[in-house]
C-alpha cells in the first residue's frame, strides 16, 4: 500500500493484480475474524470454513509491504527528498482517518470510553484510533528507515544529509522507547506500536530483491505448494492451539510479521511476477489497485454496517463469508471511487 495513486509510465499490471488481491484479502480477514472466535458456538464445519479462509488471506498486509518495497526501493534519492515526498502523501491520510475513526469509535463504541480516553489509549498503547489503522504508524516507521535500507541495497555511499537523518531517526526511536517504559511504569500501559515496523523490514526489502534480483524462474507448482502448505499448516495449528490451550487467537500461528506468512507472501509475489505476461489487462483490476489504500482505510465502516444489518450466522458460513466479503469490498470500492472524484479527497484515499 504505497498511497501513490497516480498512473506511472510502464506500469506493471501484475502489481495491480496483487494490490487488488491484498485489499480484498484484508476484507476477508476482518469478515471471518468474528466467526473464527466463535468456535464454541458455531457448527464445526462453519468454523473450519472461517478458519481456512482467514489463514488463506493472511498474506494481505505483508503483500502491501512487499509491493511497497518493490515500488519504492532502488531509487537514487537522498533522505530529505524522500521524507518530504512521503510526508506529503501519507500525513494527510493519517491525520484525517485518525480523527475520523476517533469520532466513529466514540459514536459507535459500547465500552464507555470518552474522546480523551480514546485519544490517550491510541497515543500511548496502540498508535491508532481504530484497530486497522495500526498499519499507518508501522508504515511510517518503514518510511523513516527506508533511506538507509535503500542506500545499502543500491550500494550508495551515505552523504552528510543521510547521516544526519540516520542519527535523528535513531534518537527518535530511543526517545519513544524511553517514553514507552515510563508509560508502562506509571500508567501500566504497554506501548508496542513504535517498534512494529522492525518486523516488516525484511518483507519490505524482499519486495525489491524479488522484483529486481531474482533471475531464475521458480516452478509454479512449488510456489503454489508453499502457499497452500502455509495456509493448511496455519488452519491446523489454529485448531490444535484452540483444542489444547483454549486460545482462539489467529496471531499466534500465522502472525502478519511471522516467517511462515512471509514465505506465503513471497510465493504469491513470485507466482504473479512470473505469470505477468499471461495475466489479462483489466480496467477493474487497475481501478481496484488505485483504490486499494482507500479500501483498506474505509472498509471497517461497512463492516460495522454489515454487523448491525445482518447478524452473524450460526451456520452457513460457506455463503455468508463470500457474500459479506464481496459486499463490504464492493461498497468500499464504490465509496472510494466516488470520493476520489473530488480532488481534495485524493490525498487521503
Looking at residue 2, what is its pLDDT? Answer: 58
Q: How many CB atoms lie within 10 A of CB 48?
A: 16
**pLDDT, position 136:** 95
Residue 126 lies in a domain: yes
**Residue 88 burial (10 A CB sphere; 0-12, 13-18, 19+):** exposed
Q: Which residues contact 227 (CB under 8 A, 6 or more apart)?
A: 59, 264, 267, 268, 271
Question: How many structural domains is the chain composed of?
Answer: 1
Count of CB atoms within 10 A of residue 234's CB?
Answer: 23
DSSP 140-191: HHHHHHHHHHHHHHHTPPP-HHHHHHHHHHHHHHHHHHHHHHHHHHHH----
Residue 118 lies in a domain: yes
31-56: per-residue pLDDT in tens? Answer: 999 888 888 888 889 999 999 999 99
Place of cell 510465493: 267
Q: How far is CA 241 from CA 65, 254, 308, in A?
A: 28, 12, 30
Residue with cell 508453499: 226
pLDDT digits (tens), the chain, 349 positions: 655 544 444 678 999 999 999 999 999 999 999 888 888 888 889 999 999 999 999 999 999 999 999 999 999 888 889 999 999 999 999 999 999 999 999 888 766 677 777 787 787 788 888 999 999 999 999 999 999 999 999 998 888 888 899 999 999 999 988 888 888 888 777 777 888 999 999 999 999 999 999 888 999 999 999 999 999 999 999 999 988 888 887 677 899 999 999 999 999 999 999 999 999 989 999 999 999 999 999 999 999 999 888 777 766 888 999 999 999 999 999 999 999 999 889 889 8
What is the number of residues in the chain? 349
- 82 part of a folded domain: yes
What pLDDT, on a 0 to 100 scale, did the predictor assign at position 5?
40
Contact between 279 and 13 (Cβ < 8 Å): yes
pLDDT at 10: 60
Please report whether residue 3 resides in a domain.
no
Residue 8 is predicted with a pLDDT of 47
Domain presence at residue 49: yes
Residue 1, pLDDT score? 65
Query: What digits encode the pLDDT tens for the residues 254-287?
Result: 999 999 999 999 999 999 999 999 999 899 999 9
In a domain, 135, yes or no: yes
Cα 81 from chain centroid? 25
In 3D, which of 64, 27, 46 has the Cα closest to residue 142? 64
Residue 50 DSSP one-character state = H
- Any domain includes 5: no
Cell of 77: 534519492
Q: Report the pLDDT value the prediction gives residue 91, as an integer from 0 to 100.
A: 95
Q: The cell 489509549 sits on which residue?
A: 121
- Tell me the CB-side half-sphere exposure of residue 83, using CA atoms within 13 A: 15
Cα separation, 76 vs 214, in Å, equals: 20
Read off the pTM: 0.92
Per-residue model confidence (pLDDT) at position 235: 95
Task: State the cell numbers at 16.
Answer: 495491480
What is the SS3 assignment for 310? coil
Segments forming the whole domain that contains residue 220: 13-345
* Nearest-angstrom CA–CA distance, 320 and 309: 13
**DSSP helix/strand/coil, 214:** coil
Amino acid at each position: 500500500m504505497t498511497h501513490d495513486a497516480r498512473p506511472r509510465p510502464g506500469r506493471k499490471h501484475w502489481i495491480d493484480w496483487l494490490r487488488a488481491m491484498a485489499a480484498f484479502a484484508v476484507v476477508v480477514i476482518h469478515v471471518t475474524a468474528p466467526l473464527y472466535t466463535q468456535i464454541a458456538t458455531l457448527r464445526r464445519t462453519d468454523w473450519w470454513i472461517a478458519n481456512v479462509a482467514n489463514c488463506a488471506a493472511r498474506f494481505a498486509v505483508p503483500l502491501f509491504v512487499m509491493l511497497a518495497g518493490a515500488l519504492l526501493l532502488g531509487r537514487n534519492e537522498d533522505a530529505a527528498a524522500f521524507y518530504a515526498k512521503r510526508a506529503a502523501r501519507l500525513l494527510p491520510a493519517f491525520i484525517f482517518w485518525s480523527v475520523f475513526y476517533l469520532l466513529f469509535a466514540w459514536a459507535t463504541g459500547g465500552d464507555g470510553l470518552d474522546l480523551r480516553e480514546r485519544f490517550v489509549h491510541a497515543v500511548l498503547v496502540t498508535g491508532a484510533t481504530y484497530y486497522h489503522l495500526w498499519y499507518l504508524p508501522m508504515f511510517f516507521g518503514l518510511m523513516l528507515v527506508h533511506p538507509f535500507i535503500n542506500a545499502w541495497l543500491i550500494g550508495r555511499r551515505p552523504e552528510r544529509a543521510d547521516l544526519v537523518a540516520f542519527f535523528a531517526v535513531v534518537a527518535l526511536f530511543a526517545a519513544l522507547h524511553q517514553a514507552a517504559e515510563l508509560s508502562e511504569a506509571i500508567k501500566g500501559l504497554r506501548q508496542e506500536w513504535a517498534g512494529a515496523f522492525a518486523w516488516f523490514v525484511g518483507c519490505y526489502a524482499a519486495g525489491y530483491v524479488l522484483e529486481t534480483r531474482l533471475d531464475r524462474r521458480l516452478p509454479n507448482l512449488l510456489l503454489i505448494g508453499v502457499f497452500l502448505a502455509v495456509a493448511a499448516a496455519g488452519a491446523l495449528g489454529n485448531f490444535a492451539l484452540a483444542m489444547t490451550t483454549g486460545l482462539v487467537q489467529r496471531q499466534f500461528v500465522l502472525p502478519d510479521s511471522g516467517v511462515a506468512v512471509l514465505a506465503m507472501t513471497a510465493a504469491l509475489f513470485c507466482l504473479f511476477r512470473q505469470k505477468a505476461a499471461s495475466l489479462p489487462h483489466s480496467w477493474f483490476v487497475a481501478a481496484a489497485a488505485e483504490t486499494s489504500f482507500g479500501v483498506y482505510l474505509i472498509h471497517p465502516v461497512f463492516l460495522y454496517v454489515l454487523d448491525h444489518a445482518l447478524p452473524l450466522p450460526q451456520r452457513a458460513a460457506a455463503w455468508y463469508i463470500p457474500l459479506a466479503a464481496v459486499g463490504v469490498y464492493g461498497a468500499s470500492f464504490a465509496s472510494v471511487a466516488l470520493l476520489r472524484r473530488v480532488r481534495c479527497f485524493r490525498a487521503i484515499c
